[in-house]
Amino acid sequence: MTAATVERLRAGFASGRTRPLEWRRTQLQALARMLRTHEAELAGALARDLGKPAPEAYATEIGFTLGEVRHALANLKRWTRPRRVAIPLALQPASARTTPQPQGVVLILAPWNYPLQLLLVPLCGALAAGNCAVLKPSELAPFTSALLATLLPRYLDTDAVAVVEGGTRTAGELLGQRFDHYFFTGSAGVGRQVMEAAARVPAPATLELGGKCPAIVHDGDLRTIARRIAFAKFTNAGQTCVAPDHVLVLREHAPELARQLRGAILEFFGADPAQSRDYGKIVNERHHRRLADALAEALDGGATVLSGGRHDARRRYFEPTVLVDAPSDSALAREEIFGPVLPLVVVQDLDDALERARQHQPPLAAYVFTRDPAVRARVEAGLRAGAIAVNACAVHLAAPGLPFGGIGASGLGRYHGRHSFEAFSQARPVFRKPLWPDTLRMAYPPYGGWRDRVLRWLLR
């Protein structure tokens, strides 16, 4: 079944249909039309899967993807244009250019937390670059997966785009097929398997993984800082790869920051967030249990809850929770939390904060709140991360001009905007040289004499 699908797309690619700019434009326009026409149904599926409020679903999934598609449509012509490349004297007369080529049939594997955005934003890049794509949405967001599997074939060229639904077994079958690019968003363990599959071909792989994104609070208006942190952390109930995982706060600001975080949670979700229409759900019981166990372990180890802490597995509800003093060997301190639990870690100074942030693998993003350019510069110089944001958390990824991706354990490769187009393209050089004059004869054997000297001069 998966083999037949890949074969169909391979034939589609070989037919050359995906190469013309017009085809790419038509596909992108159809993708935008699908998102606009079915916005309400898509938001409904996202609400069933993750309890996403409709405005949040629009901002982080549907509208976000539309923004990427619009950006690609506006820039497609420029991105696909050949680029001239300068030629050194030793090769003159000659000319050269690179022209972006599609890679072929690509595989896109998406996770459950932003099940629409993380499937369709890579697709946007793949189509803009003229590829065929097999998409596998996450089985843990079944309503979104089923709806996209129904809608996409109605709007897009079915000889170029296919949706394969299923879980680990289906994903394994897909990895048994040959693709020309593997684009994976998800956990590090599965990412390694994807990389191994790509290595067998061999083919390029983009891995969008996770990590523990720190937010360093150094100085500034703590009310605004708390709101920005709470917004990024509690959107989608904390199930966001670039959410601030933990806060490293200078001792003198810790009590006031805790107070302001409580205030921000109250302002956003009311006294009982369980009643709020603006607060999401945990994806399933397994993840709910993981979070409840991690919280219980930290509390047993001496952590103190500053806000929240209630949860209800039956309703997949987990209250926005802020705590302090999680033991350093607890799951909350060691692993990516991926849920609405925010540990505050009190630090002495910036050096202490940087030291603690460096105890973890490089994350997708590191955040610092400060008005001091010297502090900002030290964070930029002192931390490895996929991105750095100053006085903001997570929102940087909504700028399509910025490359998005991890470094080290948080991933490999970049996408969004032009970077998606480039990720799914081969910048193929074409070099042209006239037969006359035959200047290359400077390099021909037999060696020796004046030609050696001229060649050395040309290559100096």
For the annotated catalytic residues, the residue numbers are 208, 241
CA dist 135 and 151 (Å) reads 13
Query: In sequence order, which ranges of 317-449 are alpha helices (DSSP H)?
Result: 331-334, 350-357, 373-382, 417-423
**Counting contacts by CB under 6 A, is residue 60 touching ligand NAD?**
no
Buried b (16+ CB within 10 A) or exposed e, 438-453: ebeebeeeeeeeeeee
Q: How many CB atoms are located within 10 Å of the residue 11 CB?
A: 13
Quote the least distance from Cβ 290 to ligand NAD, whole Å. Answer: 11
As measured in angstroms, the least distance from the Cβ of 185 to ligand NAD is 5
- Determine which residue in the list 10, 24, 136, 414 makes contact with ligand NAD, applying CB under 6 A: 136
CB of 170 to ligand NAD, least distance (A): 7
Nearer to ligand NAD, 196 or 349 (CB): 196
- Between 172 and 302, CB nearer to ligand NAD: 172
CB of 28 to ligand NAD, least distance (A): 21
Please report, for the chain, how many H helices and E strands are present, in that order.
17, 18
**Shortest separation between residue 40's beta carbon and ligand NAD, angstroms:** 24
Type of residue found at 284: N
Our CB check for ligand NAD shows the closer of 308 and 413 to be: 413
Sketch the per residue contact string, 291 through 330, with ligand NAD: x for CB under 6 A, - otherwise: ----------------------------------------
Decide if residue 127 touches ligand NAD (CB under 6 A).
no
Site string for ligand NAD, 164-203 (x = CB under 6 A): ---xx--xx--x---------xxx--x--x----------
Amino acid at 52: K
Q: Which window, 19-27, 134-142, 214-222, 446-454, contacts ligand NAD (CB under 6 A)?
A: 134-142
Q: What is the size of the binding site for ligand NAD (CB under 6 A)?
A: 29
162/214 Cα distance (integer angstroms): 38
| Binding flag, residue 109, ligand NAD (CB under 6 A) | yes
Of 284, 286, 269, the C-alpha closest to 321 is: 269
Residues 254 and 345 sit within 8 Å (Cβ to Cβ) = no
Q: Which helix (H) or strand (E) holds 426?
A: strand 425-432
Which lies closer to ligand NAD via its Cβ, residue 30 or residue 171?
A: 171
What's the gap between Cα 7 and its chain centre? 28
Of 156, 150, 143, 134, whose CA–CA distance to 115 is shortest?
A: 143
Q: Which stretch binds ligand NAD (CB under 6 A): 131-139, 215-223, 268-276, 366-374?
A: 131-139
Element (H, E) at 249: strand 246-250
Contact 386, 210 (CB under 8 A): no
Judged by CB under 6 A, the chain residues 230 through 259 that form the site for ligand NAD are 241
Nearest residue to ligand NAD, scored by beta-carbon proximity: 210
Q: Is 113 in the site for ligand NAD (CB under 6 A)?
A: yes
- State which residue, 66 or 241, has the beta carbon closest to ligand NAD: 241
With CB under 6 A as the contact rule, the residue among 210, 214, 244, 343 that binds ligand NAD is: 210
Bond into 202 cis (ω within 30):
yes
With CA atoms as reference, report the closest residue to 69 among 402, 416, 403: 416
Nearer of residues 124 and 190 to ligand NAD, judged by Cβ? 190
C-beta of 379: minimal distance to ligand NAD in Å?
Answer: 21
Q: Is the dihedral of CA 162, 140, 39, 116 positive or negative?
A: negative
CB–CB of 194/184 below 8 Å? yes
Q: Which residues are 107's β-sheet partners?
A: 134, 182
**Between 49 and 227, whose beta carbon lies closer to ligand NAD?**
49
State the number of CA atoms in the 13 A half-sphere of 149 facing the CB. 14
DSSP per-residue codes, 130-162: T-EEEEE--TTSHHHHHHHHHHHHHHS-TTTEE
Using rule CB under 6 A, residue 393 touches ligand NAD: no
| Joined tokens for residue 226 | 């708390």
Using the rule CB under 6 A, is 111 a contact of ligand NAD?
A: yes
* Residue 408 Cβ vs ligand NAD, minimum distance, rounded to whole Å: 13
Q: Which stretch binds ligand NAD (CB under 6 A): 56-64, 125-133, 135-143, 425-433?
A: 135-143
Residue among 26, 95, 51, 190 at smallest CA distance from 434: 95
CB of 405 to ligand NAD, least distance (A): 7
Q: CB neighbours (10 Å) of residue 140?
A: 18
Give the shortest CB-375-to-ligand NAD separation in angstroms. 27
39 binds ligand NAD per the rule CB under 6 A: no
User: Which residues bind to ligand NAD, rule: CB under 6 A?
Assistant: 109-113, 118, 136, 138-140, 167-168, 171-172, 175, 185-187, 190, 193, 208-210, 241, 336, 338, 364, 406, 411
